[in-house]
Amino acid sequence: MLVPNSLGIVMIWNLDRRRVTIPFMLPTIAWEDGVIVMVDQRKLPAREVYVRCRTAREVGKAITKMVIRGAPAIGVAAAMGLALELRRSRASGTNQLATEFYRACDLLAATRPTAVNLFWAIGRMKRVFAEALRAGGSTDELKVLIEAEANQVHDADVASCRALGRHGAELFPVDARVLTHCNAGALATGGYGSALGVIRAAVEAGKRVAVYADETRPFLQGARLTAWELVRDDIDTTVITDGMVGSLMLAGKVNVVVVGADRIAANGDVANKIGTYTVAVMAKEHSIPFYVAAPVSTIDLDTTDGSGIPIEERDAREVSHLGASQLTPEGAAIWNPAFDVTPASLIDGIVTEHGVCRPPFTESLLKALARAECP
């Protein structure tokens, strides 16, 4: 029997003793022969293509170009990218190693502005590096420490998703008809998923679960990635276009909503994929509970409320084109914000690995963070 490692990768050797890798479960990102390998999320579900990154610069490019995306996943990718940069470094002393390390930190921090997990992961790696440097660590010791920390960021994210999944599953009715937006699944995290982690945990707990995945224009994370993950897990899945959400709710087909988050401000305002706000307003109108599922690495206490969250604007071509086909006439202006902010007043609960935070979020988020520091 083939047994996947903790990253969901099976290693086998073919007949002429060359190692080959078979993807198993959901291999979002993993080490392989000293380089980072990630599934190219732009190509799913049509093709499972794997991209290899040999430098932090290549990891940065993979984040910018959406080869890997999703808030926790890009945090994990950045941490691993820093470890990769050190692993490949030929620096003769710690000063040179530090210059290379901090340069890679800057490069990765400039990839995407909204998901705070990216900056959280880079900050964590910087602290470990600086402490080890102060303690007089050698270049080899620094490399080993940073790689161990990156692997810890990855493993801890999977553990957080599993824990928050269990908390969130308790919020679902026994017969759950769930709407989710974008992809907050294994592909968007170290593994298992946040919103999809809740869905998976509810299924594992024996609840009947049917999921509506909205398309999530323009990048189609819902139609392509969420549906792909759920179908692979044999979970009842229906894809709708974004404009159908209101009718779906009016028809009584949804009794709970769960989405992920890219950044949660101190007051509980949540930045997530563009369209989340519309779904939350609709859920409020139809008295359907609206939950956000995210590890505490997504909470940003330095941002008081949603107005302070930087919203990435992406290339107009994502809206004007579908693949090579142009959808819009020449001369039409395009606006393409990748995220929106859902005000805390529309959110019934924020599910973290340390339990479900309820309004007022200013207090409950602090409590979740305190539990993270002293488990």
> 51 or 97: whose CB is closer to ligand MRU?
51
Largest CA distance in the chain: 67
Candidates 262, 269, 300, 348; catalytic one: 262
The verdict on whether 262 is a catalytic residue reads: yes
| Contacts with ligand MRU, 52-91, as mask; x by CB under 6 A | -----------------xxxx-------------------
Residues in 170-189 at the binding interface with ligand MRU, rule: CB under 6 A: 182, 184, 188-189
222/320 with CB nearer ligand MRU: 222
Site string for ligand MRU, 220-259 (x = CB under 6 A): -x--------------------------------------
- Tally of CA atoms within 13 A in the half-sphere of 31 that contains its CB: 17
Residue of 147, 149, 214, 262 that binds ligand MRU (CB under 6 A): 262
Say whether residue 273 binds ligand MRU (CB under 6 A). Answer: yes
Beta-strand (E) ranges in the chain?
Answer: 9-13, 19-23, 29-32, 35-39, 50-53, 175-180, 208-214, 236-240, 256-259, 263-265, 270-273, 290-293, 299-300, 321-322, 325-326, 339-342, 349-352, 355-357
Q: Give the Cα separation of 160 and 197 in Å (integer).
A: 10
Residue 269 in contact with residue 231, Cβ under 8 Å? Answer: no
Which has the closest alpha carbon to 111: 149, 132, 81, 153? 81
Instruction: Name which of residues 97 to 156 contact ligand MRU (CB under 6 A).
Output: 115
**Nearer CB in complex with ligand MRU: 167/273:** 273
Site for ligand MRU in 292-351 (CB under 6 A): 338
372: closest CA among 314, 276, 296? 296
Residue 216 is encoded by which pair of tokens?
A: 């999530």
Classify 95 as helix, strand or coil: helix
Nearer to ligand MRU, 129 or 219 (CB): 219
Question: Which residues here bind ligand MRU, judged by CB under 6 A?
Answer: 69-72, 115, 182, 184, 188-189, 194, 221, 260-262, 272-273, 338
Provide the annotated active-site residues. 262
